[in-house]
Structure formats: C-alpha cells, structure tokens
Structure 1
Amino acid sequence: MDTPTHVYCYPVSRESAYVPLLFRGIEAQYCPIYRQEGFFTEAIAELAAGRRVIVHVHWEEFVLRACRTDQEAAHAAEGFERSLGEVRDRGGIIFWTVHNEVPHLIGFGEQFLRLRAYLARIADVILVHNATTTEILAAQVNLDRAKARLLPHPSYVGEFEDETALVAGLDTCPDRIIQGFGWVRVQKGFGEMIGMLPPSFVDSRSARIRISGEGVEAPAVIATNPGREDVVWDLRHVPNREVPALLRSACCLVLPYTRVLTSGIALVAMSVGVPLVAVDIPQFRDLLPPENHPLLFPRGDAHAFRRCIDHALSLSTAQRRRLVEANLKLARLLRPHRIAQQLAALFNAARRDGVPG
C-alpha cells in the first residue's frame, strides 16, 4: 500500500472541530498533520527528501495570534510568506480555504489583508464554501477566479449520535426556549439578539432565552444587556454527546451573526434537527431549504426578527417535523465522508496536473 500523502493543515489545532471532518474515510490517501506554529519547516524537509506534500492553509489570521504590535505582525507575515514561498519553490502543492470575511478575534487588519493577498497569488487551489465567498474575496484581493473551487462545509450528521438516536430525537417536544449556541463572542451578535427581544416580548410568550457556550468575551456580551432575568447563561463547553438534546429542547436556534461567510453552527443545527432563525443573506438562503426560509429576517430588523421567533414558537408538531426533516435531508447530502471524497478528488487533480481540478 502506498504511503499516504501528508497534508499540513496550518495554523490548525488538533482540537479543530472542522478540519478532521474533511478527512473522514480518506486518511489512507491523505493524512492530516496539524500545526499551529513553526510555519512549514517539516513540510519543507519532506519536500527536500523527495516526498510529495500538500500544505492546506486555514484561518490565516491566526498567523498573527501571538503578535502585540504592528511590527510583530509584519514580521510574522514576512516569516509566513517566506516559509510558504519555499514550499512552492520546492514543488509543494498549496491549498487555501477561505473561512472568514474579517478576523474574528485578531486585529492587524493591514497584515491580515497582506496575508490574504499573498495566499491568493501563491495558492494552487482556493476553496470556498459558497459562491458569495468568491465575490467577497474578489473585492478584497486580486483574485484569479480559475483557482476557486466550491467545497461545501461538511455537516455533522453521524458526529454526535447514530442514526437511530437522530431519528428518534426528531420527535422531541421542545420547550419555549430561544437558543443561542457556540463561542460566546461579541462579534457573534448575541448581545444584539438579546437586545431585539425585550423582556416584555419574551415574558408575554412564556419563553426564555438560553445562551450555551464558552468564551473569554462572555462578560462583555452579558454586559450589553444587564439585568436580564429571562436570559439563561449556560456558559460552559457543551460536550458533543449533549449537543443534540440541548438544541432539540429549544423551539429554535438563532444565528444572530451580522458578518459571516459560512456557519458551522448552522450545519450542527441542521444535522440534529432544530429550526434555524438567521439573517436573510445569500449564504443562508443557499444553505437552508425553502421550508426554513420563513425564519430568515432582514439584517437589523427587530420587528421581522420577533415575527420569526413567534413563527418558531407557534410551529405545530407536524410543521416542525417537516421543517427539520427538510434541513436534515440537505445535511445528509453534506455528510463528512461525501465532502472528504470531493476534497480527495481536488487533491488528486492537483497532484496529477499541478493545476486546479
């Protein structure tokens, strides 16, 4: 059996929830190597020894994670470019997945765009999760669109529970909980979400808001709406085994993001069976089936948002079942092993031709 090709995923933690999904069932061909620091020293050594190597860059803003000054950020960007340039000079294949429009936590916007422009030039293949990402990227950098390839974000079907538990869970009778879920960050919009649902609205519906997740910015998010006794702050890491029951116990999951290219949390919700309330943007219209579109609202429109919440709260058992089954049908098409096979085909084409497949 041939030795699998090493794919250096950088800068990516071994704890990444996303990247391992890309390799489901293709590990015998392509073995992911997770590296957060050190640039591409190991990849360069393998190339020097005559082995084929792929470098796959994700979340390029984290190249700047340890920087405290503009000078340090410029130095880090230079080191990254120099190291990745050597990968290219030695014949390595470079993939880049575009995850975010702007950095979530890290500043240094000038150096971030510098890294992004460099990656647009040097990458053999640029992976995007949807067509909107290509347009946003083209507005930021000089983009050769021939390099861009669509690789949808994989769903989480089969990651949290088996099929028997999943199907049985679709009949869960939800509480009147308006759910927020994920990393509790200011950028995620939880404060705005709570602000658009005043206590008078929540109390009159005999509902409550629950925010589940963790994050160092949680105190700042809580401070945006002080004294809200109708909000349950479930601030913790939610183990995978608890995710399905937690989300299905809510009438809906709200994605209050105002700037997003794709949403892993949306795919989690689709994969476990919960209605989604989200901003009406092309990314969500393309991802979600028509059955879920009545729960999309114009950005910043508090009245429309509250109408969506009322809609979710008023769903009958049959209506909710139809909606979540439609979401799940699409999530099944995005199972990790299906997306991994698509990625393997792109890797194969790049190895064979040296150009995008």
Structure 2
Amino acid sequence: MDIIFNPPVNEENQYIRILVAELRARGYCIHPLDTIFSSSKHFRSIRLVHLNWFENIDGTSVFAALRSFLRKLVVLTAIRWSGKPLVWTLHNRVTHEAGTAFLSRVLVRLLVRWSDRIIIHSGQSEAVLAAYGAKVAERVVYLPHPHFIGVYGDAVTATAQGHGPLQLLFIGMVKPYKNLELLMDVVGAFGQRVHLTIAGKAMDEGYAQQLIDRAETMGNVALLPYFIPDGELPGLLGRADAVVLPYDLRSSLNSGTAILAFSYRKTVICPEIGTVSDLEDHTLDTFCYRYDTAGGHRKALGEQIERALARKAADTQALDDMGGRLYQHVASAHDPHRVGDELDRLYRGILDKHRPR
C-alpha cells in the first residue's frame, strides 16, 4: 500500500525511523511528501498522507518563510481537493520559532480542519485542540510515543560516583526556547555540588558561541557543541544522574528526549509537559515542576535540582531506582510494536471509510 509518511527519514530523530520501520513491516510502501507531484500516476497511487511537524516554517529569512508557507499551502490544498485521507500528528503547542508563528498558526488551523484523524502523544494535547471546537475531539486519537530502548545500543551502567557532584545532562538540539542560559545560571549557583553537561548541536553558530563563552567562565559546565553520534549516547546517559530539560511551557508539549531518558533508565528534571503528566503515578519518579514566569522557572528549577541533590545524598542508589521504574513503565506502555499495530489499525479504518461503495 503506497502512502506518504513525512518526513520519511530524519537522521537526527529516531522517532521517525522507528515508526517507518513498523509501517514497512506491515506492508506499507513509504514515500516522501516531496514526490507527491512527481507524476499523475504516482499522485493517484497514494492512498493516505500522514504529516509530522508540517506546520513548521523555514524561518531563515522572510523570503524563505513565505516560500515555505506557500509551498505547504499548495500541497495541503491539493491533498484536500484530491480527497486523499489526511493524518496529522500534533507534536507541540505552538511553533518554537516566534518569527514564523503567524504563518504556522494558519497551517495548524487548516490541519485541524482538514485532517481525518489527529494523532496526539499526550493528554495535554486534548486541551490544545479543544480551542478549535468541540467536534475536533471526535477525530483525535491517542497513540503512545514509542520508546527508544536499545535503539542507540545497550544502556551503560555508570561507575559508582558515591557522594560526588550531581551529574546532570542536557541532550538534544541546542535552541533558545530550551532555556539553556537559565539552566546554566541556575547550575552555576550550586558550584561544585552540581556538574552539567550540555550535549547537542546548535542550528545557529552565533548562539552556540554565546553558550561556549558562558561555559568557559564556569567551573561546573561542560559543552559538547556537536551532533552526538548514536554510539556515544549510552555512555553520556550512563554517566548522568539525571537528564535536565528546562523547556518553555508556552510551546513544549511532548518530549522524545524525556522518553529517551526513561528508555536508558534515567529520571528527568523537567517542567510538567504532556509527556511527564501522562506518567500519572510515575511522575513521582521525576523531578517535575510548574512555573508562570521566567523568575518562577528559575526558582522552581533550582528547587528541583536541590531535591535531586538531597535524594542522592540520602541514598546514592535512589536516582538510579527512579530511572529503573521509569524504564519499566515505558517498556510496557510505549512499546513500538504496539504503536505500529495501532497505527496500522488507524490507517485501515480510515481507508475503509474512504473506499468507494
């Protein structure tokens, strides 16, 4: 069965590879969105279109943003007019890029209106979509975010660190909305009691240099400003006591990095985004928090780091035990094979309704 699952490849995001592999194992032939107009025969062969992050706009320049928006508008309109079933996954509350927010909102409105099904990965997403009308809920389907157990290699058991510094790790793309300057300031106040490693590539070299300069003035922050190869991830995670993700609650909703941490037996220090709130009783195995202002974020983050320090001081095994319980939870609740089965059933149910009578 020929479908479009876009993007079909993302070397820096194993979420895509996992889902594409599950779909191919169930007989789907995956095509990229860029080929949709390659020929009339190919266009007719496409049975269904599934879009991820389609609302994101190229914000490198005003011209690039307008070109990206118009191109996506044409494609989305063609899918609508052709009658092809459309599935869209909601990943974020809003775009992380403030400069393209208006254009992104236009695409989101069309995606909400025209999608046959909207996939969500967290309960908080329902409240986001409720703003578009009560009837939208009829087309919303929850699917767990697949875990990453074993995807980057086996988990590495850290060398016993006893009562040494609290080892924190931030991992992922280095972008302003992730509040890394705030994180560095908060960690700096703890001195040698806390050590932070920031690992990830920045899209903007100027921003990367700002962080490098700041880290050089601190004695407890290490910066690895490059894309981390898959083989290095288990070691980085293994040396950490916890993964720290000080996301912006205004835009963040789900976190594949949090799922990655749980998949490698690590707890997180993180705002109560959708991924964390869905843990229900297992939120007690995280250091989650809420905030309303930048000052409130700084205070809450510092309090949770202090809590993690106290927990480690009282029991050097405590943080590992928290991570172990989170691992057990995602191993069961976020099984990629289960996600693949549910996605297959979703597609076939939609296609059955679109089949000519």
Indicate the TM-score class for this superposition, using the shorter chain for normalisation.
0.7 to 0.9
- Give the Cα separation in 2 of the matches to 1:258 and 1:79: 29
Is the contact made by 1:179 and 1:252 (CA closer than 8 Å) also made in structure 2? yes
- 1:33 pairs with 22, 31, 34, which one? 31
Return closer, same or farther for 1:336/1:134 CA change in 2, 3 Å cut-off: same
Return closer, same or farther for 1:43/1:145 CA change in 2, 3 Å cut-off: farther
Is the contact made by 1:294 and 1:308 (CA closer than 8 Å) also made in structure 2? no
- Give the Cα separation in 1 of the matches to 2:66 and 2:226: 35
Gap regions ≥5 residues in structure 2: 292-296
Q: Which residue of 2 aligns with 1:245?
A: 235
Q: Which residue of 1 aligns with 2:18?
A: 21
Q: Which residue of 2 aligns with 1:46?
A: 42
Residue 286 of structure 1 aligns to which amino acid in structure 2? Answer: D
User: In the TM superposition, what is the alpha-carbon distance from 1:184 to its structure 2 partner?
Assistant: 1.2
Moved more, 219-228 or 99-108: 219-228
Helix, strand or coil at the partner of 1:284: helix
- Give the Cα separation in 1 of the matches to 2:248 and 2:39: 37
1:49-128 correspondence to structure 2 within 5 Å: 51-62=45-56, 64-65=57-58, 68-69=61-62, 73-74=65-66, 76-105=68-97, 107-128=99-120
Helix, strand or coil at the partner of 2:258: helix
User: In the TM superposition, what is the alpha-carbon distance from 1:194 to its structure 2 partner?
Assistant: 1.4
Helix, strand or coil at the partner of 1:130: coil
Helix, strand or coil at the partner of 2:151: coil
Aligned length: 337
Q: Which residue of 2 aligns with 1:214?
A: 201
TM-score, normalised relative to structure 2:
0.83
Residue 31 of structure 2 aligns to which amino acid in structure 1? Answer: I
Helix, strand or coil at the partner of 1:21: helix
User: In the TM superposition, what is the alpha-carbon distance from 1:231 to its structure 2 partner?
Assistant: 0.8
Return closer, same or farther for 1:212/1:79 CA change in 2, 3 Å cut-off: closer
Helix, strand or coil at the partner of 2:141: strand
- Give the Cα separation in 2 of the matches to 1:285 and 1:222: 33
Moved more, 99-108 or 109-118: 99-108
* 1:151 and 2:151 are equivalent in the alignment: no
Return closer, same or farther for 1:193/1:315 CA change in 2, 3 Å cut-off: farther
Q: Which residue of 2 aligns with 1:305?
A: 304
* 1:269 and 2:256 are equivalent in the alignment: no
Is the contact made by 2:59 and 2:100 (CA closer than 8 Å) also made in structure 1? no
TM-score, normalised relative to structure 1:
0.83
Is the contact made by 2:8 and 2:30 (CA closer than 8 Å) also made in structure 1? no
Is the contact made by 1:266 and 1:276 (CA closer than 8 Å) also made in structure 2? yes
- 2:176 pairs with 164, 168, 186, which one? 186
Let me know the Cα RMSD of the aligned residues.
Answer: 2.8
1:191-202 correspondence to structure 2 within 5 Å: 191-199=181-189, 201-202=190-191
Helix, strand or coil at the partner of 1:238: coil
Is the contact made by 2:129 and 2:137 (CA closer than 8 Å) also made in structure 1? no
Is the contact made by 1:157 and 1:335 (CA closer than 8 Å) also made in structure 2? no
Helix, strand or coil at the partner of 1:149: strand
Percent identity for Structure 1 against Structure 2: 21
Return closer, same or farther for 1:140/1:90 CA change in 2, 3 Å cut-off: closer
- Give the Cα separation in 1 of the matches to 2:122 and 2:286: 21
Is the contact made by 2:243 and 2:261 (CA closer than 8 Å) also made in structure 1? yes
Return closer, same or farther for 1:227/1:210 CA change in 2, 3 Å cut-off: same
Q: Deviations over 1:273-321 (max 9, x none)?
A: 1121111345412137536445223331244233233145436354234
Q: Which residue of 1 aligns with 2:341?
A: 341
Return closer, same or farther for 1:315/1:298 CA change in 2, 3 Å cut-off: farther
Return closer, same or farther for 1:335/1:283 CA change in 2, 3 Å cut-off: closer
Q: Deviations over 1:180-211 (max 9, x none)?
A: 11111111112111112234x232x2x32111
- Give the Cα separation in 2 of the matches to 1:108 and 1:181: 25
User: In the TM superposition, what is the alpha-carbon distance from 1:77 to its structure 2 partner?
Assistant: 3.1
